[in-house]
Chains A and B, each alone.
Chain A
Amino acid sequence: MQCPDSLRVQAYLDGETDAVSAADIERHMERCAECCALHRDLEQLRTALRRDLPHTPIPPALRARVMRALDEESSIDTPPRRARATWRTRPFWMGATSGGLGMAAVAATLAFLLLSPQLTSPVVDEVLNAHVNSLLSTHLIDVVSTDKHTVKPWFAGHTDVSPLVADFEPQGYKLVGGRVDYLEHQRAAVVVYRHGAHVINVFSWAATQRSLPGKLTRNGYHFVFWKAGDLQYCAVSDTGWDELLGLVQLLQDLGGRDAG
């Protein structure tokens, strides 16, 4: 025989009661051993569920597949007179800028597909894929903001790391937002910057023992890897080396200041 108040205990646990009945239930649990035990068990169960259940994000391949299906769908319901209809996969915030970015993305894909990269490190491979995907698909930015106080807390809820986030607009690197990507089996944080017409993705994830190259170029994209504390960073872009290293220097200086 179950106490008739057990559903109210559950509602209390789920935060579905107002203050008055919450106090009521608390008083009841002091008297009713059964409900007190129920509350304790349900709390234990919840703790275990939150600890053990994976909050798996959608796999990048499926995300890409869904995006392609969406492209096809949206090209059906718009007039076909726009020749480059399918390239509306550009991130929406780029919409206002010139078509040059779209063309650059086309060229980048072609380069990516035709050159068929021989990559030595799987991490480089993963980062390259994530970077190119971010330019092609609509998944450049999950949280759009130029304010580091918006982007950083957002990462706390969505990724496994808390990276450096700062706006360097005066120096020419404008913070435009953040994104989650799946790298090395982790939810990596990606801070997205604009430098002129270029996008710079700064990936960060919990560093592993794996040794990574400091700098390299693949398929026309420059990569800079560095470690700070227990985080592994990688900045990727098709800007020139000087521009990319400029941002890396700013981030490293900032990291140094924060640490010291």
Chain B
Amino acid sequence: MDDRRSRFEAQVLPHLDAAYRFARWLARSPDDADDVVQEAILRAYRGFDALRGSDVKAWLLTIVRNCHSTSLKQQQRRAQVPLPEEHDTQDGYALIATTPDPESASIRRDEEHTLESLIAKLSDDYREVLVLREIEDMRYREIAAVTNLPMGTVMSRLARARSALKEHWLLQAKGEPHAVP
């Protein structure tokens, strides 16, 4: 039996669920998240020898985050490739614009009121620190390691994320969407 593989499974795979959840919060679609998780686990396996008894979960989530940024950059590069000449911009736009059907529009309206969707609407910078703190229950220094930010920035982003979320959520819970103090 491959000893390296066994150690990897024992130490890293217990955090597979966390890696998946984090990828789901970062990625723009479930398919993207799946790809990010797979790529992250492979990269983690390749780089496993460099891991020295530090915090495995933070280490794995850092890799997930890096994989996500790489895949985002690739997508952006692809999006910049111009359309063939015979398509004018009007056609190009029509290709991606879809008219929402009434059913999915109504589902979206319901989802708008869940905390999950409020978090999804936060900017990427705010969302990741909030998710790492509140869902993955990580310490400030771990969040700083994963996001490669100074601890002070982690704290201020977390405060702003919470304040944005709190405002929307509390107002909605009280049913007073316009009563902004």
Contacts and interface: CB of A to CB of B under 8 A. Distances in A.
- The answer to whether A and B assemble together is yes
Interface of A: 6-7, 10-11, 14, 16, 41-42, 44-46, 48-50, 52-59, 62-63, 65-66, 69-70, 73-74, 78, 88, 90, 92, 95-96, 138-139, 142, 144
Contact of A70 (B42, B114, B119): B42
29 contacts: A7-B155, A7-B156, A10-B162, A14-B140, A49-B115, A53-B116, A53-B135, A55-B135, A56-B20, A57-B17, A57-B20, A58-B16, A58-B19, A58-B20, A62-B20, A66-B16, A66-B37, A66-B38, A69-B38, A69-B42, A73-B45, A74-B4, A74-B45, A78-B2, A92-B6, A92-B9, A92-B10, A95-B1, A144-B10
Interface residues of B, number: 40
Interface in B116-172: 116, 119, 133-135, 139-140, 155-156, 158-159, 162, 165-166, 169-170
B67 to A, nearest CB: 13
A96 B20 CA distance: 31
Contact of A52 (B115, B140, B156, B162): B115
A142 B24 contact: no
B155 A11 contact: yes
The 4 closest A-B pairs by CB, nearest first: A95-B1, A92-B6, A58-B20, A57-B17
A58 B4 CA distance: 23
B141 to A, nearest CB: 9
Given A11-B155, A48-B115, A70 B2 contact: no
B166 A49 contact: no
Contact of A65 (B38, B162, B170): B38
Contact of B170 (A11, A16, A41, A92): A41
A55 to B, nearest CB: 7
Interface string B36-76: 01100110011000000000000000000000000000000
A55 B2 contact: no
Nearest to A63: B16
B155 A74 contact: no
Contacts of B34: 62, 65
Interface of A is mostly: helix
Contacts of A63: 16
Nearest to B14: A142
A165 to B, nearest CB: 19
Interface in B1-40: 1-2, 4-6, 9-10, 13-14, 16-17, 19-21, 24, 34, 37-38
Contacts of B165: 45
Contacts of B16: 58, 63, 66
Contacts of B45: 70, 73-74
A58 B37 contact: yes
Contacts of A88: 1-2, 5
Given A52-B116, A65-B34, A74-B5, A10 B158 contact: yes
Contacts of B156: 7
Contacts of A65: 34, 38
Contacts of B42: 69-70, 73
A70 B169 contact: no
Contacts of B24: 56
B9 A138 contact: yes
B156 to A, nearest CB: 7
A103 to B, nearest CB: 15
Given A10-B158, A66-B41, A139-B13, 8 more contacts: A53-B119, A58-B16, A58-B17, A62-B38, A70-B41, A73-B46, A95-B1, A96-B1
